[in-house]
Amino acid sequence: MLNNVFTKQKSILLLFLALSILFILSCSSCNTSKTEQPSKDTVKHFPKKHFELLAPGTAKIKGILTSYQKKNGKTLCKIFVTKVLGYGPTTPPIAVNSDLLVSLTNEKVNGLGTPLHELQKSGKVIELKIISQKPSVNSNKSIEIWKAIKFNSNSSN
């Protein structure tokens, strides 16, 4: 009787071994070659766009300079937002077709290449990268002012 148990165990072990070998062989024949290219019908073509990662609190927008005021070495611009191109994490939302107040240093204004009065007069769409500025503690205004990090007056619509 003990001999009969060992024979059954050997049979089960041999059966398991045979099934394992068959499984391994069937899997190895299913692999496709790594050099095989998918057909043109299965490849999706996506437009090549440059996606820029934005820092926390920043946004990239397009807009029109509607007015500006120079004061204390800074220029405060009113920008009519025509498009929001992207947000960084924790950036407050910006409404399209609304006005934003954007602060520019004189250095940024001088680096534009086009005087502000000409940009305002032309109504040309400009591209800006801006960062949210918290209102100062002494300020009783709840108006949010953004600071320009990058300003491109050569933007296309």
With 0.75 as the threshold, say if the pTM is over it.
Answer: no
Q: What is the pLDDT at residue 135?
A: 63
* 81 DSSP β-pair partners: 63
| Residue pLDDT, tens place only, 93-143 | 999 999 999 998 877 777 777 888 888 899 899 999 999 987 655 555 567
Q: In order of start, what are the domains of the chain with their CATH numbers?
A: 58-134+142-152 (2.40.50.120)
Q: d(Cα 88, Cα 62) in Å, to the nearest integer?
A: 16
- Mean local confidence (pLDDT), 71-85: 90
